């Protein structure tokens, strides 16, 4: 009888290409031959191709109960209980540490352990992991903001990945960037005149990162009080304030998401009327933005509650074809505050709820971001 480990390479590739992403770690630990095969570029292309063929679901990285999971959401499935599939833990290293924040860029994940000053960068698909040591000038190191992006090299079309860390509290500003090629941090000119809350995760899009920002109270100049700012990892600098299609107050819910890794979407919910809007850009660059003149989604009547806005805002994504938004938050019934829920909202103001399971801590909110596996290397 022929053993699986002795199959011809082409046949083994064909069989193993059907293995779910979260099971690749087990495949690689089975035998040396499979570990080598699963890291070949030809296998990766076939495996990623199998995952995309006929795929009607969205892949999202979900942080719940301080752990990182991979989930698939099939909006064609009208059964609220089965439209979301829990595929398993995405990162083995997250089994041993509590994760407070996670960021996605180009198939790479940057996660910040809850009780550690070092950060972790990994490619869940290839299994590569890098631990980055940090030192802090500000005593409350958990107040720093982070971002993951890349420098664009026009000649070689390759990407040089970098990690940004900065802080903009009232009496202290600092900005540093980590370069993987030199394995070191460098100081940059810090932002002035505006601040970003450390709880604001920002959004990575095409190698840049965008945040909501507010003018510091000491800045009395004219202009919008709230806006977007972008960090350019190639030029290693922040861009100018970018206008929003609305003017939010501190009590409003605002959140960022990406659309097909090409455009930026913003969710805005007013605290008083509970009216919810989602706007999508038609052009987005580090120094300019153009918003679609027509709102993508507007809900006036069906929502009787406000999505999370304190600390970390509720995360979301949209499906342009099906004209729906999926917002991740807690159950709004007082007796079920530990339960995580995906709210599926249609442009027709329909509202569905999908149960994501309970958290041990009612203050641990589910956080999600779109995930596309890649062959990006940690260099």
The model's pTM? 0.87
Q: Would you say 292 and 277 are in contact if contact means Cβ atoms under 8 Å apart?
A: no
Q: Is 261 left (phi over 0), alpha (psi -120 to 50) or beta?
A: left
Question: Mind listing the pLDDT tens digit of every residue in the chain (379 residues)?
Answer: 455 556 676 777 666 666 766 666 666 667 777 666 666 666 666 666 655 544 557 889 988 888 888 888 888 877 766 788 888 887 654 456 788 889 999 999 998 888 777 889 999 888 888 999 887 776 676 778 899 999 987 766 788 999 999 988 767 788 999 988 888 999 999 888 898 876 788 999 999 999 999 987 655 555 568 999 999 999 999 999 999 999 998 899 999 999 988 999 999 999 999 999 999 999 999 999 999 999 999 998 667 889 987 767 789 999 999 999 999 999 888 778 789 999 999 998 888 999 998 888 777 888 898 888 888 888 7
Domain extents in the chain = 8-54, 55-370
User: Looking at domain 55-370, does it have CATH number 2.120.10?
Assistant: yes
Rounded Cα gap, residues 91 and 63, in angstroms: 11
Structure tokens given for 152: 């664009």
φ, ψ of residue 198 in degrees (nearest 5)? -65, -20
Residue 76 dihedral angles phi and psi, to the nearest 5°: -75, -20
Q: CA 108 to CA 119: how far, in whole Å?
A: 13
């Amino acid at each position: 009888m022929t053993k699986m480990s002795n199959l011809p390479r082409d046949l083994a590739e064909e069989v193993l290409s059907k293995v779910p992403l979260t099971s690749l770690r087990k495949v690689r630990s089975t035998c040396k031959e499979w570990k080598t095969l699963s890291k070949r570029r030809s296998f990766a292309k076939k495996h990623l191709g199998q995952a995309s063929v006929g795929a009607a679901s969205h892949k999202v990285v979900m942080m719940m109960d301080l752990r990182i999971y991979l989930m698939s959401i099939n909006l064609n499935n009208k059964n609220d209980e089965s439209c979301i599939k829990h595929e398993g833990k995405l990162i083995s290293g997250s089994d041993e540490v509590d994760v407070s924040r996670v960021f996605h860029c180009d198939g790479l994940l940057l996660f910040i352990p809850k009780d550690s000053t070092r950060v972790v960068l990994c490619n869940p698909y290839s299994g590569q992991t890098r631990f980055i040591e940090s030192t802090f000038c500000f005593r409350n190191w958990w107040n720093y903001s982070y971002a993951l992006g890349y420098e664009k090299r026009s000649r070689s079309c390759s990407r040089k990945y970098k990690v940004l860390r900065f802080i903009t509290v009232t009496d202290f500003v600092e900005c540093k960037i980590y370069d993987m090629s030199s394995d070191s941090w460098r100081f940059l000119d810090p932002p002035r005149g505006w601040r970003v809350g450390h709880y604001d995760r920002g959004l990575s899009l095409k190698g840049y990162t965008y945040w909501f920002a507010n003018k510091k109270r000491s800045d009395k100049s004219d202009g919008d009080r709230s806006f977007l700012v972008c960090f350019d990892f190639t030029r290693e600098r922040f861009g100018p304030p970018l206008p929003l299609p609305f003017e939010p107050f501190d009590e409003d819910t605002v959140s960022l998401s990406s659309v097909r890794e090409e455009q930026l979407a913003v969710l805005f919910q007013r605290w008083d009327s509970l009216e919810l809007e989602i706007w999508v850009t038609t052009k987005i660059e580090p120094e300019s933005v153009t918003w679609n003149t027509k709102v993508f989604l507007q809900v006036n009547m069906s929502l009787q509650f406000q999505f999370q806005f304190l600390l970390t805002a509720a995360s979301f994504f949209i499906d342009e074809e099906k004209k729906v938004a999926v917002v991740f938050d807690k159950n709004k019934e007082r007796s079920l505050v530990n339960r995580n829920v995906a709210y599926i909202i249609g442009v027709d103001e329909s509202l569905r709820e999908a149960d994501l399971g309970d958290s041990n801590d009612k203050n641990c909110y589910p956080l999600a971001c779109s995930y596309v596996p890649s062959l990006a290397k940690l260099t």
